[in-house]
Amino acid sequence: MRTIVQAVALLISGAILSLLIVGFKGAIHALCPYATVCFGLSKQGFLSLTLGAFWLTTVVSLLILVYTMFYGRRFCGYLCPLGTIQEAIFALRSKKYCLKPRFPYLYELRFAQLKYVILIVTSILSIFGIAYVFMNACPIYALSMLPRIALPGLAIFILAVLAGLFSERFWCRFLCPYAALLNLFQALGSLFGIKRLKIHRNLERCCDCGVCMRYCPMNINIAESEYVHSGECIHCNKCALKCPKPGTFCCEKEL
């Protein structure tokens, strides 16, 4: 079911992107949920988002953020086209390569902070009305500019794709500011006592083989606790699908 949802979302995104490329009026940021940050933090941008052409994007983005507080980053695992592309690219590698030792968890946590820095920088640029500085480096926006040239964003898109060949979902894990924003809303939900849906590992059935961690696209240390507390979890359920003991993993709210 997840693969079907990803394919449909990717096809819809591709169709919209194609319309923009061939000359239909509009901007890719009119459909990007991160437009709420790119444009919405300045006074002029807020009016544009709430009263202008981007009002629907604002509503959708807020719904995603609120949904994430209760159900986690399913948007990343099911609907984000860039996430799906990265996942598909990494799947082209041999099984032997895909199961090579992952990035050390200590360094994973450190480098994952980069996306929060990008979120802060983007927010500051938006407040001062110069969000275009980030947009020029946005890989999705760069694609919508084709056949015109948006070199910074195109270069970052190519680098993200190439990095995705060697490390699964590289953009999602280290660079995506929207992922950082979703994580902040998950933390906000926890602060207010909202019970988020999490992956639960049945400790009685688990044999501690580590297969779940080797297949996790977000490189989460699943075995560190009974529940996957990490906000990086995209609920792809690969840990459950690859587990040699069916029924070890399920989704439930922590008591």
Asked, as a colleague might, if the bond just before 177 is cis with ω within 30 of 0, I would say no
The Cα 26–Cα 44 span in angstroms is: 18
Residue matched to tokens 């860039």 = 82
pLDDT at 86 over 60: yes
- Domain range summary for the chain, segments of one domain joined by +: 2-189, 195-253
Mean pLDDT of 114-137: 85
Q: 196, 72 in Cβ contact below 8 A?
A: yes
Tokens of 255: 């008591």
pLDDT at residue number 240? 92
Q: Give backbone dihedrals phi and psi of 193, rounded to 5 degrees, phi first.
A: 80, 20
| Token output for 40 | 């919405």
Please tell me the predicted confidence (pLDDT) of residue 32. 78
- Identify the CATH class of 195-253: alpha beta
Please tell me the distance from the alpha carbon of residue 236 to that of residue 212, in angstroms, as a whole number: 12
Is residue 166 over pLDDT 60? yes
Percent over 70 (pLDDT), the chain: 84
pLDDT tens for residues 18-45?
666 655 555 566 667 887 777 666 555 5
Q: What's the pLDDT at 101?
A: 81
C-beta atoms surrounding 179 within 10 Å: 29
Beta bridge partners of 252: 198
51 has pLDDT over 60: no
Residue that has been written with the tokens 């437009």 in this structure:
35
pLDDT at 54 over 80: no
Which pLDDT value is given to residue 140? 74
Alpha carbon 83 to chain centroid distance?
Answer: 6
pLDDT at 78 over 70: yes
Judged against a pLDDT cut of 70, whether residue 53 lies above it is answered with no
- How far CA 59 is from CA of 8, 70, 156, in Å, comes to 22, 17, 28
CA distance 35 to 228: 29
